[in-house]
Amino acid sequence: MNSAEHQDLAVIGAGPAGVAAALAAADAGARVTILDSAPQAGGQFYRRPAAGLGARRPQALHHAWGTWQSLNARLRAHVEAGRVRHVTDRHVWFVERLETRFTVHALIGPEQTEPDTVTADAVVLATGGYEKVLPFPGWTLPGVVTAGGAQAMLKGGLVLPGRTAVVAGTGPLLMPVAAGLAAAGATIAAYIESADPKSLARHASTLVRNPAKLAEGAQYGAALARRRIPVRTRHTVVRAHGTGRLEAVTVAALDADGRIRPGTARRIPCDTLAVGHGMLPHTDLAQALDCTLDGVNVAVDDEQRTDVPGVWAAGEATGIGGAVLSRAEGEIAGLSVAARLLGAAPDPRVLSAAESVRTRLRAFFAAIDTVYAPPAHWAESVTDDTVVCRCEEVTAGEIREAVDGLGAGDLRTVKLLTRAGMGWCQGRVCAPGVAGVAGCPADTARRPFARPVPLDVLAQPGNPSRNEASHD
Ligand SMILES: Cc1cc2nc3c(=O)[nH]c(=O)nc-3n(C[C@H](O)[C@H](O)[C@H](O)COP(=O)(O)OP(=O)(O)OC[C@H]3O[C@@H](n4cnc5c(N)ncnc54)[C@H](O)[C@@H]3O)c2cc1C
């Protein structure tokens, strides 16, 4: 096992939140290690093309590229000065709390079979979020990708998922995805949003306090208009069609209750459907450490501290809110850690700028959240033969039988009766879909480890398997 030197702070995740936390802590004199599963820093928002692709204009697909350049330059300076260690290709599967310090357990590289550990006095969890995608007939066809997945292919691999795309679902992430695909040469046959953005008017006073976010939205809106992309709001994808691969999608209008309006279905030929229904925070590491959740988010105080001493959380792990909010939270966490490690409270003057950004943007995203939600009755369109849990190939019919025929009333019982959520993803992808089809609450699953771990790694002396694997 590779054992690294002991650090003051271990930051897990090198996205906007993790990088900001590491920089703030290192600026204040802390020794920091950042671990990330990706080969480069940047996370989802600042995802860059792989070095080997030789991209000449990586900024072309990015918003706020200058901000990233300056963050990255500061990171590189700290790395060169030995104050920050940036460990790439590390998949953290568990953070172990020992008496006064933490051991971060990771697996190395794409194979994820070789272990690595880092010890530290404090930990910042900056693990970001992942996309929520709800099932519909045909969603497993090749050519149907998640909206963020399409964006990741474009930003990280410089490839288009297809030539003619429909971008659909709900939430603000659909806008940069459609604009990015179009700018890279794809034809966007339709942009389908199930929410009604006009409802944002009810939150006008919150929105106008965030002019930069409004300008960003307007910029994407203008890009869609310039490219004459047909935009349909209060519409949803009903079905994806194709034999062997996606050939078309059927979309339909929604009524005020979120049900399909009869007679409005329309078939749109396409070879790609980029679809997303919002995002969920990554909470596995926090839950395994016994941090309390606030709904689906890691609960934090004003300094981004969780209720477990020595553990901070920042960015989308604490609530979905975009890169700027993630950076502000990361900065507060890093400043707080650096002060608390010295036994002091952070200076309120150095926190205040980031705190006001955090206050404004949390209010902004709370308003956004009330407007962008999947259609209330989406599960009614999921046919019995639709596969809902892809890992275990469990259909909607089997889930309904578990509820109606066998009396399952919660996600755990549905899982035990059908195996839905028992596969490789451990319900990370399918849990909202299974819960919606079953008509039960989408409880936050508690998983012992954040990644699948090889048995020989678990069996190594000193690993936390024996004590900790007792969780559900
Ligand atoms: C696929 C996808 C694409 C997106 N594209 C955009 C976009 O184009 N525009 C936009 O405005 N927003 C986009 N977002 C939203 C984006 O998540 C936020 O705006 C922002 O990046 C959040 O910052 P963060 O630091 O909290 O998390 P992230 O940027 O998600 O960074 C978290 C980092 O933690 C790492 N990580 C997570 N778990 C582990 C672990 N167990 N071990 C090791 N490393 C781990 C990840 O590899 C990642 O690098 C996207 C989101 C997703 C999921």
Query: Would the CB of 16 count as within 6 Å of ligand 1?
Result: yes
Q: How far is the CA of 467 from the centre of ligand 1 (A)?
A: 31
In this predicted structure, the answer to whether residue 466 has a pLDDT above a threshold of 60 is: no
Q: Which atom of ligand 1 is nearest to the CA of 38?
A: 47
Q: What pLDDT does residue 51 have? A: 78
Q: How far is the CA of 152 from the centre of ligand 1 (A)?
A: 10
In this predicted structure, the answer to whether residue 472 has a pLDDT above a threshold of 90 is: no
User: Considering only 159-168, 196-205, 410-419, which range has the smallest mean pLDDT?
Assistant: 196-205
User: Considering only 85-99, 192-206, 340-354, 434-448, which range has the smallest mean pLDDT?
Assistant: 434-448
In this predicted structure, the answer to whether residue 242 has a pLDDT above a threshold of 90 is: yes
In this predicted structure, the answer to whether residue 4 has a pLDDT above a threshold of 60 is: no
Q: What pLDDT does residue 157 have? A: 87
Sign of torsion, CA 117 118 119 123? negative
Q: What pLDDT does residue 3 have? A: 46
Pick the more confident residue, 416 or 63.
Answer: 416
Report the candidate in 216, 217, 218, 268 with the shortest Cα–Cα distance to residue 242: 268
DSSP state of 201: G
Indicate the average pLDDT of the chain. Answer: 92
Mean pLDDT of 440-450: 84
Share of residues in the chain with pLDDT > 90 (%): 82
Q: What pLDDT does residue 5 have? A: 64
Sign of torsion, CA 316 116 343 310? positive
Q: What pLDDT does residue 468 have? A: 47
Q: How far is the CA of 317 from the centre of ligand 1 (A)?
A: 9
Q: What pLDDT does residue 465 have? A: 55
Q: How far is the CA of 253 from the centre of ligand 1 (A)?
A: 32
Q: 1 falls in which pLDDT band (50, 70, 90)?
A: very low
Q: Whose CA is nearest to atom 27 of ligand 1?
A: 128
Q: Mutate which of 40, 45, 285 to test ligand 1's pocket (most atoms within 8 Å of Cβ)? A: 45
Report the candidate in 389, 170, 373, 128 with the shortest Cα–Cα distance to residue 274: 170
Q: 235 falls in which pLDDT band (50, 70, 90)?
A: very high
In this predicted structure, the answer to whether residue 131 has a pLDDT above a threshold of 90 is: yes
Query: Would the CB of 271 count as within 6 Å of ligand 1?
Result: no
Quick one: 272 exposed, middle or buried, by C-beta within 10 A (0-12, 13-18, 19+)? buried
Q: Whose CA is nearest to atom 1 of ligand 1?
A: 148
Q: Whose CA is nearest to atom 10 of ligand 1?
A: 45
Q: What pLDDT does residue 96 have? A: 95
Q: How far is the CA of 44 from the centre of ligand 1 (A)?
A: 4
Q: What pLDDT does residue 2 have? A: 47
Q: Whose CA is nearest to atom 24 of ligand 1?
A: 128
| Helical pair 322-341 and 16-27, crossing angle rounded to 10 deg | 30
Q: How far is the CA of 128 from the centre of ligand 1 (A)?
A: 5
Query: Would the CB of 14 count as within 6 Å of ligand 1?
Result: yes
Mean pLDDT of 329-346: 96
Q: How far is the CA of 382 from the centre of ligand 1 (A)?
A: 29
Quick one: 332 exposed, middle or buried, by C-beta within 10 A (0-12, 13-18, 19+)? buried
Q: How far is the CA of 79 from the centre of ligand 1 (A)?
A: 22
Mean pLDDT of 91-109: 93
In this predicted structure, the answer to whether residue 467 has a pLDDT above a threshold of 60 is: no
Q: What pLDDT does residue 113 have? A: 83
Instruction: List the Cα angle 259/261/263 in 5-degree steps.
Output: 150
d(CA 40, CA 81): 19
Q: Give 352-391 pLDDT, tens digit per residue.
A: 999 999 999 999 999 999 999 999 999 999 999 999 999 9
Query: Would the CB of 71 count as within 6 Å of ligand 1?
Result: no
Query: Would the CB of 329 count as within 6 Å of ligand 1?
Result: no
Q: Give 261-270 pLDDT, tens digit per residue.
A: 999 999 999 9
Q: Whose CA is nearest to atom 49 of ligand 1?
A: 43
Q: What pLDDT does residue 441 have? A: 86
